[in-house]
Structure 1
């Protein structure tokens, strides 16, 4: 009898404790809620990408997305610890929800500057080594140019030059200087680099010339000359025009030329009597 009573008592105790644990778990579960928000840079009012948000005094947390948004489940009384590169660490209190089980908070961060200590950099390791190497460096001796001058011959040369300028015997010194200038000018003209317009003209001439037109149209002689004038009149090739386009255009104009040749030759004779035909091709 006593054993049965003890079993009943322990059974009731176990059932009561299980109900108490279930109620406590439900209370804990009911006390949690979801907090979401955005980590904002106050200078630009834009979200801070990939900021770290975690529950204060715990290892639970989350990383914001590229726009600075986060979403985390917390309990009443807990705080958020927010960190981001270039900003001060923030401990934020959470405002509990009133009706719904989720709350949204905007968190403004504060800029933080990192001051670095001054650093001295020397090529030889330290200031002492640099100073000793600088003091022991041999200064190169400069050559005295005046010591090589022969002032006697210099005065003689000046007298001869003044005599030539007054028009004595021999060659006039100014004529010799002008002659040297002309020679140097010719050399510079020969060695001068072609301008951009010259390069563009050369590029165009390599794409469009009599040889190219002759190969495309099988014309030659006077007919080729007249055809070139016709193409120049009705085309507008430049150095940027592709060779394919030039080839297609030349064939089209050649076909038109064969159809309009008598009238074009008549107009060409009239223009020749008036003056030369301007080549409108632009390099």
Structure 2
């Protein structure tokens, strides 16, 4: 067989696979949305969202907001404790670079309570105990599996930044992102809206951190610990300023111990 012909066939196969990979990569779209209760429109936290095609997905935050990479024709499967699971076909997105913010609503699941017999001669405490011990029957057993899946996330701290002020991507995007996610990279780099959201998000987090520190170390706490008032309290607070170490993660015991140790040094120095 002609070697040149073999090489040509191999080259054509390579370019075909490369073109297919490029099309597959370009068809990926980053979307965002929020899961809501159908009647009250309250956010549903920790809802699980998976792509039916791949079974891969994500979990919503405390405000029901999610971010996910999908393909144009994908269908999402949404599940949450106490709500009926839902299959949701992603609507056609005319501009993949700026997809809309989707809202998806879930219906409640009704629960069946075990029948309770109430007697005229029974006491309120007896009725209350039997009612509280009644077993709840779950209509949809799939929720038991979801409980197990969500268990590691139950201690996850809620995001203090409201959904409307959160940037699409936290932190910096590197060379790998520029190669494999060029649209997201350019949006993160040059979008004025994204830059504004990052600044607001940073300010909200810093303000929250300052409030947590002020709750652990303030004039009232120092006054209660030392008995100082007025000018003497102000002088001691100034003395503590460069010596005490308080962060949002410091325990009240650690802060109080530092105050008392510094007060001891302060009174010794004054004498």
TM-score (norm 1): 0.38
Structure exhibiting the larger radius of gyration computed from Cα positions = 1
TM-score (norm 2): 0.40
